[in-house]
Structure 1
Amino acid sequence: MRFLFPSDYFNPKKADAAYSEQVACIQNAGFTTSVISLESLETGSSKIIPAPTPGLKVVYRGWMLSPGDYELLVSVVESTGASVLTSKADYLATHYLINWYPLITDFTPETKFYSVDDDLENQLNRLGWDGFFIKDYVKSLKTSVGSIINKPEQIKTVVAEMQKFRGTIEGGICVRRLEDFVTETERRYFVLSGKPFAALPDEEIPEIVFECAKRIESQFFSVDVIERRDGTKRIVEIGDGQVSDIIGWTAERFAQLWIDS
Structure 2
Amino acid sequence: MILLVPSDPLRPRRPDEHFAAEAAAARDLGITVALLDHDALPADPARAVARVPEGEDVVYRGWMVRGSHYADLARALAKRGAALRTDPLRYRRAHELPGWHDHLAPLTPRSAWTAGYDRTDFDRARAELGSGPAVLRDYTKSLKHHWDEAAFIPDVADGDAAWRVALRFRELRGADCVGGFVLREFERWRRGEVRTWWVDGECALLGPHPDTPDELPGAPDLTALTPLVRAADLRFATVDLVLAEDGGWRVVELGDGQVSDRPAAITPEQLIGALHRAG
The alignment of Structure 1 onto Structure 2 pairs a total of residues equal to: 257
> Cα gap change, 1:215/1:33 in structure 2, threshold over 3 Å: closer, same or farther?
same
CA contact (8 A) 1:196 1:209 kept: no
CA contact (8 A) 2:45 2:73 kept: no
Match of 2:187 in 1: 179
CA contact (8 A) 1:187 1:226 kept: yes
**Matches of 1:67 and 1:126, distance apart in 2:** 26
**Matches of 1:234 and 1:195, distance apart in 2:** 18
1:163 pairs with 151, 167, 170, which one?
A: 170
> Cα gap change, 1:161/1:81 in structure 2, threshold over 3 Å: closer, same or farther?
same
The answer to which structure has the higher helix fraction is: 2
> Cα gap change, 1:125/1:82 in structure 2, threshold over 3 Å: closer, same or farther?
closer
**Matches of 1:15 and 1:49, distance apart in 2:** 15
Q: Which moved more, 1:220-229 or 1:109-118?
A: 109-118
Q: Spell out the pairing of 1:237-256 with structure 2 (5 A cutoff).
A: 237-247=253-263, 248-256=265-273
> Cα gap change, 1:204/1:164 in structure 2, threshold over 3 Å: closer, same or farther?
closer
**Matches of 1:257 and 1:20, distance apart in 2:** 18
CA contact (8 A) 2:198 2:205 kept: no
> Over residues 35-86 of structure 1, what are the superposed CA-to-partner deviations in whole Å (9 max), with x where a residue is unaligned?
1112212134524364323x43101111111122111211221121111101
**Matches of 1:178 and 1:57, distance apart in 2:** 40
- How far did 1:172 drift? 1.2
Match of 1:118 in 2: 119
Is structure 2 residue 275 aligned with structure 1 residue 258? Answer: yes
**Matches of 1:122 and 1:72, distance apart in 2:** 33
Q: Which moved more, 1:67-76 or 1:248-257?
A: 248-257
CA contact (8 A) 1:132 1:150 kept: yes
Match of 2:94 in 1: 94
- How far did 1:146 drift? 4.4
Match of 1:209 in 2: 225
2:152 pairs with 131, 148, 155, which one?
A: 148
RMSD: 2.3
**Matches of 2:260 and 2:125, distance apart in 1:** 31
CA contact (8 A) 2:92 2:99 kept: yes
Q: Secondary structure at the match of 2:4?
A: strand
CA contact (8 A) 1:199 1:253 kept: no
Given the two structures, how large is their TM-score scaled by the length of structure 1? 0.88
> Cα gap change, 1:121/1:93 in structure 2, threshold over 3 Å: closer, same or farther?
closer
Q: Percent identity?
A: 26
Alignment gaps of 5+ in structure 1: none
